[in-house]
Every structure is written in C-alpha cells, then in structure tokens.
Amino acid sequence: MVERPILDPAVKTPKVDQVLEQIKSQRQSLQIEERKKVTGAKADTKATVTQRVKTRIPSRPEVTAMMLDFLLCISGFLTVLILTILTTQVDLVKFLTTVPWQEWVPFLYMTVAFTAFIYTTVTRLFSRQTVGEWVTDQYIEVKSPSFAVFFLRVVVRDFLVVATGFVLLPLLSLLLGTDLAGRVSGAYLVKETYV
C-alpha cells in the first residue's frame, strides 16, 4: 500500500490559484456578454457573479408545460365524467354498448374542451399562469394595465387553443418557435430568467 502525503489546505498553490482566477474572470466576461444579448443594453463590465438581473423574454409553449396541463385537464374531465355518471345513475356499460359512438363521442369532446377551457382560463385569470407554465417559469403578459382587457385577451387565447383541437396551434407554435396564440390574441407567453 502506497502512502500519499496529506495536503495542507492552508498551503498556497500559486499555479492553481492563477488558473482559478483566470476561469473566474472568463466566467464573469461570459455572463456579461450573455446579459448584453438578453437585455440589449450595455452591461456593466465591473459586474460580479452575484449581480444578476431578472428579465422577461418572449417564450414559446414548452412541451413539459403542455403535458402537465394536459394531464390536469384529463383528470378534471374524468372528475366531471364520474360526477355526471353518479348524478344521473346511468349504466355506463349498457350506454356504451347500445348507443352508437357518433352520438356520445361529440359529448365527450365537448366535455374535455369545456373542462380545459375553464381550467386554463381560471388559472390564468387568478395567477397569470397554469400549473404547467408555473413549473417552467412562464406566465401570460398583456400590454395593458386594465383587467378587462387582460380578461378578454386570455379568454380569446384559450378559446383559440380549444377551437383548434388543443393540438394544431400549440404544435405549430412549437415547430415555428413562436407563440402563435399570443400573437393572435395579444396575451403573450413570457419567461422570467436571470442573466
């Protein structure tokens, strides 16, 4: 067994300290350049690593947020469906086997659409973001201080997403890398980030 000497942390290592200082200064200059790109303003060249600026940048819908919101909408739909079955006391198996699917599938779609519309509209009106957007640090921003304008634009945005079948508009937004529902409705999706 080879014994290795124990290094004393109090002993100075000039070469290592010099390399660490170079890495630290390079990191600071990269952060300053990134801050210039995001904010578009001249950044302070003497800024330290601890000085971070909170800024809002336009965002596109994120897959994580959409999947989480989708799961919450489906759970809300199933809750409504169970409550409807319990209230009306319908025999579900008999109903599904005797009634043609053309009669009950539109009802299911309308229930899903209504549940999703209520979920997204109510959460955005009270907290400016859905649960999925909260997880990904996104929220809705309207360039008007009036709550009535904010309400109207959020309703239009959510109606557009529901009317396009929940898939078309978000998928186009992902492919094009921009928030199409925000462009049409005026309720933009923004992301808070630190630079």
CB proximity list for 151: less than 8 A, separation 6 or greater: 125
**Considering the domain boundaries, does residue 108 fall inside one?**
yes
Residue 58 domain-assigned (yes or no)? no
Q: What's the CA gap between 116 and 108, in Å, rounded?
A: 12
Provide the residue-wise pLDDT of the chain in tens; the chain has 195 residues.
566 555 555 556 667 677 778 888 888 887 777 777 766 655 455 545 566 777 788 888 899 999 999 999 999 999 999 999 999 998 888 988 899 999 989 989 999 999 999 999 999 999 999 999 999 999 999 988 899 999 999 999 999 999 998 889 989 998 998 999 999 999 999 998 776
In a domain, 14, yes or no: no
Domain count, the chain: 1
d(CA 33, CA 42): 9
Query: In degrees rounded to 5, what are phi and psi of residue 64?
Result: -60, -45
Contacts of 124-127 with C-beta under 8 Å, sequence gap 24+, read 124/154, 124/158, 124/187, 125/150, 125/151, 125/154
Whether 11 maps to a domain, the answer reads no
For the record, the structure tokens of 9 come out as: 């942390």
| Within-domain flag for 136 | yes
The answer as to whether 47 is a domain residue is: no
Report the candidate in 162, 156, 150, 72 with the shortest Cα–Cα distance to residue 117: 162
Domain hosting residue 96, numbered range: 63-194
Task: Give domain status of residue 166, yes or no.
Answer: yes
pTM, full prediction:
0.70
Residue 159 lies in a domain: yes
